[in-house]
Every structure is written in C-alpha cells, then in structure tokens.
Amino acid sequence: MRLKVAINGYGTIGKRVADAIALQDDMEVVGVTKTKPDFEAKMASMKFDLYLAKKDGAELFEKAGIETCGFLEDLLGKADIVVDCSPDKVGAENKKIYERLGIKAIFQGGEKKDVAEISFNALANYDQAKNRRFVRVVSCNTTALTRLIYQLKTNFKIGRVRATILRRISDPKEDKKGLMNAIMPDPIALPSHHAKDVKTVLPDVDIVTTAFKLPTTLMHVHSLSIELKEKVSREDVVTVLEKEPRIMLVSEADGFTSTAKIIEFAREFRARNDLFENVVWLESIAIDGNDLFVTQAVHQEAIVVPENIDAIRAIFGVEKKLSIEKTNRSLRIGEKNF
C-alpha cells in the first residue's frame, strides 16, 4: 500500500518535502496547494496535482492559465495524511479543517508545540510518534541541536549543554527588506527559545541557548559546549559522530572554510543545494577539561525534510530503523562524507 500524502503550503519546506515523498516507494503525493497564481504555482502544477489552499482566488488561477483540481478540502478527501507546510502559525488555523475532516497531520516548527500531540525528531523520539494523529516536526535549529545532542548522549554521559546559534536572517528566495549591516541578538534577554524547543523532544537535557541574527541567507551556524561527565577522547567523539549518517563531518583541510564553501559543495552534490545533514567541522571538535566543543552548520531549507518523511511513517506505525534507512537511501544521506 502506498500512503497518499497531501502537501498544504508549497513554499521552501513544502516543495522539498513533496519531492522527497516522490522518491519513496511506499508513499505518493496526491496533490499540493498554492495560494497565489505565481511562477511557483505554475511549476508546482507541472509536477503535481495543484489545489487551491483558500476558497477565493480560483478565477485568478484560471486567468493565469494554471490548471487546478479543486480546493484544499477536495485534496484532503483523497489523502491519508497531510503535511502542513504553511507559514508560521497558519498551521494551527489549518488544524481546525484537519480536525473537522478527521485527517492525520504533520506540522512544522513554526507552530507552537501544543499544535500536536508530540514534537518529533526521527533519531531522538521516533517511537513516540507511532500511531499518533498530530505530530510536529521541530524547526531547523532544533532538529540540528537535537540530532547532535541525541547522538552524544546515547554514547556518552553528558551534563549541561550551552549553545550559541548564529541565525541566517532569511532564506535566499526572500526579497523583503532584511537585516543589511548589523548583528541582532535575538532575543536580547536570555535565553533564546531554542533550548525550550529542544526540551520538547529531549526533556531531560540541561540546555541554555543564546541566538543572534546575521545578514546571511545560506545557513545557520551553532557553537556548542557540552559538559562531559565521563572520560572521553576527541577521537571517541569523532567516531561516534562519523557513525551517524545524518551528521556529515567536513574538514577545513579540504577547503570547507565557511558556509559559503559548504553550500558551494552542496551545489555540486545535490538538487537545490540541499544538505539534509548536520554539517560538523572536524577541526571544531575539541575537548578542554570536561567541556566538549563542536561547531556545526545547518542548511535551514533542507534539514527537516527527512524528519517529515520519517514522521509520516511513524504515524502509520512503521519501524524506526526501516524508515530511517529508507529515507536515508532515497535522499542519498550519508553517501558522501568528507
């Protein structure tokens, strides 16, 4: 049986999740929604059945010569599950429709945690999502923090985690006026919300985060310091991180000197220069006394894509290992580590 998946909201995350679903042998995209008849809607209609996210605007699509197959509710009637990739806080509004129609749904990290029964990361709490109706895939920053911390905490005894998050101001496609020549502590009063969000998946981690917005669009960067509660060598840490396909180690010695170089590599390596993995700089892994230091880069547009695929399978009761291996294989995760 192939699961029929609807995508509500075909933007940065929605288009990537749709393409990733199209690569799976156990699920298919039954349709996607758009709100405006722009070039993105035209391109979406060339790949997938296109539906209107809202009741108004049908004549605008018609005028633009974009064929549509109906409204959101028509699409939901054909689907087993909907992945909501609408803008921040819109998912909570859409949930009322999903509840009324009795359809299962996955939400994204821009929604509050109470939009769903659980917040999800495939490595950290896959089994808790099994057979649920509403699941929230945590944000790009939280996904990256959770993956890294989970991998360390399942292999070593760790204590407090302190992380500084350097956030890209917007995605590359955004052309609204942005932060041009400044670095903004966000928030200025500590802590940032990311620590609280990590705890929605890993409740027992002692974590405090600070965050800054920077005038860049390529990637986020995280600088972490993690207390080690047992004797661990740098090599032990490298070995443990190397073992996890969703963590990619790159080296300054290979020319990976900045996020610009990582994205240049990704342009050669993957469609849309998508990096689904946490990208950890090998040389940044260092131990001083009881403190482990790690710096990682996070491709915000792509990192949550495999988690969405795994969340779909978890909701339908598929085993964790099977799902993660299938997702990794189809998206070529872990294929090429530097």
Q: How far is the CB of 102 from ligand NAD (least distance, A)?
A: 19
Taking a C-beta distance cutoff of 8 angstroms, is the pair 116, 302 a contact? no
Nearer to ligand NAD, 63 or 321 (CB): 63
Q: Residue 136 or 292: which CB sits closer to ligand NAD?
A: 136
If phi over 0 gives left and psi between -120 and 50 gives alpha, with beta otherwise, what is residue 317? left
- 11: contact with ligand NAD by CB under 6 A: yes
Interatomic CA distance for residues 338 and 281, integer angstroms = 10
* Window 299-318: residues binding ligand NAD (CB under 6 A): 300-301, 304
Which distant-in-sequence residues (6+ apart) come within 8 Å of 83 by Cβ?
A: 5, 6, 7, 8, 14, 17, 21, 105, 106, 308, 312
Within 13 Å, how many C-alpha atoms sit on residue 180's CB side? 3
Residue count, binding to ligand NAD (CB under 6 A) = 26
User: CB atoms < 10 A from the CB of 312, how many?
Assistant: 27
Q: Closest approach of Cβ 72 to ligand NAD, in Å? A: 7
Closest CA relative to residue 49, chosen from 27, 67, 76? 67
> Could you tell me the smallest distance in angstroms from the CB atom of residue 142 to ligand NAD?
9
User: How would you write 320-336 as a 3-class SS string?
Assistant: HHHHHHHHHHHHCCCCC
Q: Which is nearer to ligand NAD, 10 or 265 (CB)?
A: 10
Please pick, among 50, 75, 76, 140, the residue that the annotation labels catalytic: 140
Residues 86-115 that bind ligand NAD (CB under 6 A): 86-88, 90, 94, 108-111
Q: Compute the distance between CA of residue 330 and CA of residue 154 in angstroms, rounded to an integer.
A: 26
Q: How far is the CB of 289 from ligand NAD (least distance, A)?
A: 35
> Least separation, in Å, of the C-beta of 138 and ligand NAD?
8
- Is 140 a known active-site residue? yes
Contact map string, positions 144 to 183, toward ligand NAD, x by CB under 6 A: ---------------------------x------------
User: String of b and e for 224-235 (b: at least 16 CB within 10 Å)?
Assistant: bebebeeebeee
Binding stretches for ligand NAD (CB under 6 A): 8-14, 33, 35, 53, 85-88, 90, 94, 108-111, 139-140, 171, 300-301, 304
Active-site residue list: 140
